[in-house]
Amino acid sequence: MKLFSSQRFLAIYSGVLTAVFAATVLTAFKKPLQNATFDEITVHRINVVEPDGTPRLIVSNKASFPGAYIHGKDIPRTDRNTAGMIFINDEGTENGGLIFGGLKDAQGEHSYGHLSFDRYDQDQALNLEQNQDGERRNSGLSINDTQGYPIPAQMIADAQSFESMPDGPGRAQALKELMAKYPPYVRRAYFGRSVDHSVGLTLRDEQGRERLRVAVKADGSPAIELLDESGKVVNELTSETKGRSR
């Protein structure tokens, strides 16, 4: 009994317990990650990241939706009042996304959905979308030529400053200056339904000028139009003509 109550024994016993506890903790940390299965999960936001912490995919509700990711930095965007997901490339820069929403208010029914894929360090090169504001509805697929400059954080700040401006001459001038400083992408092709109830295909040149229109108009009549650089229709084919030059 004296042996178990001696200070030397207690010191050895305490050291052994400490060593066992430390080994247990370290072993637990070395265990591989375990898969988990859930029947249902409720969250506000999910961040998918690489082992080094680089974000790759963010799924979020409207309240927690992120800003714009540029090389690992989340740049706040006050205009992103939506739910959805953001795709992010290997370098932590936004690579496209999916947003959606809808509601009914005093002005009528509203709905939207937008899926896009971006060029490296630039804007959307391909997008599929639909929009509804009351009776005004359009939906379609766009193929775009983006610009050659990388989108800077200052561009986002300038755009948000413009969005906060009231309607009027000052806002119109600010938009002109903004587009001159940051030329937007050029929509080269669009296939879809327009707000005038027509459906068709529009092709543009690299300067964004319409050169070919194929459409079925709201009244059901089909038409094919060829346009010159000034936008003038130089040849058309309708159900009433077999080809007429202008």
Domain end call among 158, 178, 195: 195
Question: Are 85 and 201 in the same domain?
Answer: no
The CA-based dihedral angle spanning residues 165, 167, 168, 173, taken in that order and rounded to the nearest 10 degrees = 50
Question: Are 167 and 222 in the same domain?
Answer: no
Q: What's the CA gap between 78 and 102, in Å, rounded?
A: 18
Residue 7 pLDDT exceeds 70:
no
User: pLDDT per residue over 197-220, tens digit each?
Assistant: 999 999 999 999 999 999 999 999
Q: What is the DSSP string of 33-77?
A: PPP---S----SEEEEE-TT--EEEEEE-STT---EEETTEEE--
Question: Are 225 and 127 in the same domain?
Answer: no
**Structural domain of residue 176, as residue ranges?**
2-195
pTM exceeds cut of 0.75: yes
Question: Are 186 and 201 in the same domain?
Answer: no
Q: What confidence category does residue 161 fall into, taking pLDDT thresholds of 50, 70 and 90?
A: confident
Task: For residues 27-56, give the mean pLDDT.
Answer: 85
What are the backbone dihedrals phi and psi of residue 27, each rounded to the nearest 5 degrees, phi first?
A: -65, -40
Domain end call among 179, 195, 211: 195
One-letter amino acid for residue 165 of the chain: M
Residue 164 pLDDT exceeds 90:
no
**Is the Cα torsion angle 162, 190, 57, 59 positive or negative in sign?**
positive
Average pLDDT in the chain: 88
Residue 108 pLDDT exceeds 70:
yes
Element (H, E) at 162: helix 153-163
Share of residues in the chain with pLDDT > 70 (%)? 85
For residue 106 the two structure tokens come to: 């005093």
Question: Are 201 and 93 in the same domain?
Answer: no
Number of domains in the chain: 2
Is there a contact between 60 and 84 (Cβ–Cβ < 8 Å)?
Answer: yes
Question: Are 208 and 219 in the same domain?
Answer: yes
Q: What confidence category does residue 160 fall into, taking pLDDT thresholds of 50, 70 and 90?
A: confident
- Identify the pLDDT of residue 3: 45
